[in-house]
A and B are shown apart, each in its own frame.
Chain A
Amino acid sequence: MPFLIENATLVIFALFVLALLGNIFLIGIVFLRRHRRGKFFRRIDAMRTRYGPVVVGLLSGSIAYAQGLQELREICCPDRMFILEQLCLGKKPLPAEEPILRRLCEDLGLVKVWQQRLMGQIDQASLREALMNPQGLLRRVKLLHFLIRSKSAENLGLIRHEASWPLLVKALEDPNPDLQVVAVRALAAIQHPGSFPALVEQLHKAVVGAAPVLSVRTIKSALVNFPLQCAQELQPTLLHANPRIRFFATDIIREMVEREAEANPDFCLDSKRMNDSMAETFLTRLSRDTNPDVRARAAPVIAYLPDRRAATTLFALLEDPAWFVRLHAARSLAKPRFFSYAARISRALTDADWRVRETAVRTLRTFGPAGLDVLTEHFLLTEDRYSLEQIADEFQRAGLVPDLLARCVQNGGGRDAELLRHLAEMGKTSYMIAVVENGKGNGDLRKKFLQQFGRCPDPQIHQWVKKVAAGEPDLSVRALAQKALDGVQPAGER
């Protein structure tokens, strides 16, 4: 292609020069940026050193409010807003500091600016300002205003500025997804009951909308933050025609209930916390909902209802055709008030689904010694292999084997020994051997173990006994091991 060569040479030369200039330009920007950034942060650091103690003093009460406020008002520089934000919101305030911080932000005029910015009233920066610092650029370019607006919403949420909730609710309708997400979070932080319906509306949009902007998780996370009293607002949603909406509403109430229950061990859903009508909805409608997800999520709430029908309903759910409904029902029964139903719960130990069996085992374990007794009883009597495996699994995970061995040594047999023997017959001996092996100084434990299980045909035990018989320094233990070895053939070698 000789006709192209000259042109091609020229084009490539031009491209080379451009690329070279591009290199120089980018290197220049890197250094300029480093220089400016250094300068900017030196100024911020100086301000922080000068005024940081004032803010700390104000929040802790060691500096008179009027005096501290006056000092902060004196800050005068091009980045005043940024510096004040850094000083006031640099670290998350403690609950006790929040009222002072709110007042401080209001008196410094920050709240007003944030509110204005949230509503899109942003003072335009000059071109010079835009080129000199990134904050200026954000204020200059309209396309980037959402960053400032979202940050303002975040700040209002951080100080839990109650009066701003209507503005934040308005922001939920903004087309920018960032602003919507931050507004949802800020509303969750403020927890004003007036904003709850707006968030519920967003939940509807997120679930049934064609192209939702907010994720269901984001809204759910916000709604569960509200006090349980607000849950009354969800009552119509609980009966919504769309099963997914019913599911999320039920799940949100469940989260609210479980959060409050966690903080209060004697928690129950009395009429002060949940009105009768809603309680009735859970007991009679949601527990029989056509959507299994709804039934599953209703179970934990029902478990806290001080109603006689609660237990009956939960046991009905324990027989549900959907495995995850049975799982949630089994998990919900792990409350002290259901201690007396331990034997009935043990039926779930033979459930067809392993996850339900596992949950039932764990539920019984939360009942303490009484639950453990039921488990042991079941373990010794049942012939259901899956159930046996599940219980053996839990005994190990929960670290019960050392206790069983210790009791076995103390009592010289009994049910504990029977249980351990059962475990050994199932081949679940690794943990036992680890306990005996680790307890080298405990001659009693080793002797008892050898007496009780030394002749067990399990290959692991046999191996261990052989090892002890060959090299144990304690001669009495060694003799017992040698005796145990006589005439025993491990299961693997038969």
Chain B
Amino acid sequence: MEFWWQVFIHGMNMFNLLIVSYFFIGNGVYTLLMVLSLAAVWVYNRRLDYQGLDEIRESPVTPPVTIVIPAWNEEQIIVETTTSILQTDYPSLEVVVVDDGSSDATLTRLIEHFHLVKMDLIYRPHIPTKTVRGFYMNPDLPSLLVVSKDNGGKPDALNAGINVCRTPYFCTLDSDSILERDALLRLMRPVISSPVNTVASGGIVRVLNGCEVRDGRVTKVALPKSRLEQFQVVEYLRSFLFGRTGWDLLGGTLIVSGAFAVFHRETVIEAGGFAHDTVTEDMDLVVQLHHWAAKNRRCIQMSFTSDPVCWTECPATLKMLGKQRRRWQLGLCQTLLKHCEMLFNRKYGLVGNFSLPFHLYVEALGAVVEFLGYFMVPLAIILGMVPAMLYLLFVLLSLAYGGLLSIGAVLLEELTYRRYPQPRDLVKLLWFAFIENIGYRQLVLYYRFEGVVRFLAGSRHWEKVTHIGIAS
């Protein structure tokens, strides 16, 4: 009995150490990212004064781009999204909408609105996909092509889009998103100006909820009404403005949001396209591209820029938020497991030695450590292994530090893009950044923990998040 008690005590001590290391490693890296991003985004914002968008727009050298929109049961917004995308300011643009076997009127709406007719066109599957049922075009609107195929999930729909796309670059866009008119020009700028082959370029995704939309454009930016959505606004700011920017600066980009990103078509095809074995196909593709480049000794670059904006709906209910976060966590775990040979592998440079291990320890396993910590540490206090005062202070520190990181993101937004002009919105943003760690963080943590549990249970289920259709 004594032996088992000793094992338990050791286990508890180890776990407490794990929590402390998780806290310091996680927050240490986040602080580094915040400091780097604060400087970089501020300077980048100044650099926009001489960005040369007109030159990109007018140059014959600007590469053509195809926007691929995968759609599944999006009858409410698909017409608005497509209309808005067709108005995108880009010199040579094609739009491919892939109807992934919708059971609603998604395809019919598109056919009716754009006067499309079914055509029996040639399909060359560079990447295998589910059966394509037909192509729909309007000869008077040659820049739009609608592909109808059997349901195979988002990666399959994206792969079908890549197969029919004829441009050197393609841009993935979620069907519930709205692009700012010049977002694609801005997103392509790093691709054009980089002397290294830029295979992926990501832009910022902002929360559409609460904004005013007219004719497929955001006409007024405002914070959403509900607290759940407001918390997500802060979260998105933190994640994109300093998370993605920081990783990009360090050269350790692992995530380029598939909601809005440009990829080099040939490279993606060579890397095998979007894989079906994870539920976060965008992250998986980025890691796969790193893998492919190292294996084939190719010098590639991935970039993240914070000025091309894509507005997207965030979940408005707890149920939808849960679905989204479980999927993200599940996908993260699946991707890390799939590419585990890259971990601490010198061949993969910073990605293999820093970025991936960090994501594994802090983002993936961290969900388990933090979740269990809420139960184990009080247990340790009851057993007299940790002083209650120390625990209380540690909790307060983690709350204050979490607040600091979120407020840092709001500050970054205020120093640069300042998309929320109303003073009331600014106060709200700061308030929600401050209190995000009380309640909301724990809620998200619970969903993330569930995601890990599902991963351990071998789930590969894609939980569909339905939106309320703000874009329409």
- Interface set of A (CB-CB < 8 Å, partner B): 1, 5, 8-9, 12-13, 15-16, 19-20, 22-23, 26-27, 29-30, 33-34, 37, 92, 134, 138, 144, 147, 150-151, 153-154, 178, 181-182, 185, 188-189, 206, 212-218, 220-221, 224-225, 255, 258-259, 354, 389-390, 392-393, 396-399, 427-431, 433-435, 438
Contact = CB atoms under 8 A, between A and B. Distances in A.
Contact of B120 (A20, A26, A430): A430
B47 A178 contact: yes
B387 A206 contact: no
A27 B121 contact: no
A416 B281 CA distance: 47
Interface stretch (B137-145, B225-233, B302-310): B137-145
Contacts of B121: 393, 396-397
Contacts of B124: 354
24 contacts: A22-B404, A23-B403, A27-B407, A30-B407, A92-B54, A138-B46, A147-B46, A150-B47, A150-B50, A151-B50, A154-B50, A154-B52, A178-B47, A181-B193, A215-B195, A218-B193, A220-B61, A221-B55, A221-B62, A397-B137, A398-B139, A428-B120, A431-B120, A434-B118
Contacts of A206: 195
Given A147-B46, A215-B192, A396 B61 contact: no
A393 to B, nearest CB: 5
Given A20-B400, A34-B423, A431-B119, A212 B50 contact: no
Given A215-B194, A430-B118, A435-B117, A134 B46 contact: yes
B23 to A, nearest CB: 10
Interface string B382-395: 00000101100110
Contact of B415 (A33, A215, A354): A33
A30 B397 contact: no
Given A34-B423, A153-B50, 8 more contacts: A19-B400, A19-B401, A19-B403, A29-B411, A150-B50, A224-B61, A255-B60, A258-B60
B446 to A, nearest CB: 24
A398 B394 CA distance: 69
Nearest to A154: B50
Contacts of A138: 46
Given A221-B61, A255-B61, A399 B140 contact: yes
B2 interface: no
A26 B411 contact: yes
A431 B403 CA distance: 59
A389 B410 contact: no
B434 interface: yes
Q: How large is the interface on B (under 10, 10 to 19, 20 to 34, 35 or more residues)?
A: 35 or more
B135 to A, nearest CB: 9
B43 A147 contact: yes
Interface string B418-447: 100001001000100010000000000000
Contacts of A13: 393
A138 B389 CA distance: 47
A461 to B, nearest CB: 12
Contacts of A22: 400, 404
B307 to A, nearest CB: 15
B139 A212 contact: no
A147 B430 contact: no
Contacts of A189: 55
A215 B120 contact: no
Contacts of A92: 54
B122 interface: yes
Given A23-B403, A255-B60, A396-B119, A151 B390 contact: no
A1 B12 CA distance: 12
Given A9-B387, A26-B404, A431-B118, A19 B397 contact: yes
A37 B418 contact: yes
A214 B196 CA distance: 10
Interface in B76-117: 117
A396 B194 CA distance: 39
B415 A217 contact: no
A32 to B, nearest CB: 10
Nearest to A179: B50
B187 to A, nearest CB: 15
A16 B396 CA distance: 7
B173 to A, nearest CB: 23
Contacts of B415: 33
A178 B50 CA distance: 9
A23 B418 CA distance: 19
A98 B22 CA distance: 60
A259 B47 contact: no
Nearest to B402: A19
B451 to A, nearest CB: 28
A300 to B, nearest CB: 12
B397 A212 contact: no
A390 B195 contact: no
A123 B59 CA distance: 35
Contact of B60 (A29, A259, A393, A438): A259
Interface string B228-254: 000000000000000000000000000
A399 B139 contact: yes
A5 B387 contact: yes
A245 B49 CA distance: 32
B79 to A, nearest CB: 19
Interface string B138-156: 0110100000000000000
A361 B121 CA distance: 14
A217 B193 contact: yes
A23 B434 contact: yes
B153 to A, nearest CB: 26
Contacts of B273: none
A182 B140 CA distance: 39
Contacts of A224: 59-61
Contacts of A8: 390
B145 to A, nearest CB: 9
Contacts of A37: 418
- Among B192, B390, B397: residue with most chain A CB under 10 A: B397
B22 to A, nearest CB: 15
Contacts of A435: 117
A397 B142 contact: yes
Max chain B CB contacts within 10 Å: which of A20, A217, A354, A399?
A: A217
A434 B52 contact: no
A39 to B, nearest CB: 14
B414 interface: yes
